[in-house]
Structure 1
Amino acid sequence: GLVQSYSAIYLKFGGTDLTNYAILTSFILVIVVLAVRPLGLFGRPA
């Protein structure tokens, strides 16, 4: 979604094109959110 789109834009440093890591960035963000908030963003079970 948004993270993948923004990381595809912002992962270009000078002449290096790191847009291949856009999907990896999204996956890492999901892992971090689940590690910090295991019950989800709202903090209660569904």
Structure 2
Amino acid sequence: VAEGGISLPPDRSLCPLCTQKRANPSVVSVSGFVFCYACIFKYVSQ
């Protein structure tokens, strides 16, 4: 995440992309980071 220019929020219960409480949490198996499904879907689709 940090390599892609996304900083981790101080509260690990927040999505690193939108910095809100995660909605429909989704784990990226390679890194183990947890995002909102919609956020990570949009991010990897770009």
Normalising by structure 1, report the TM-score: 0.23
**Structure with the largest fraction of helix:** 1
Normalising by structure 2, report the TM-score: 0.23
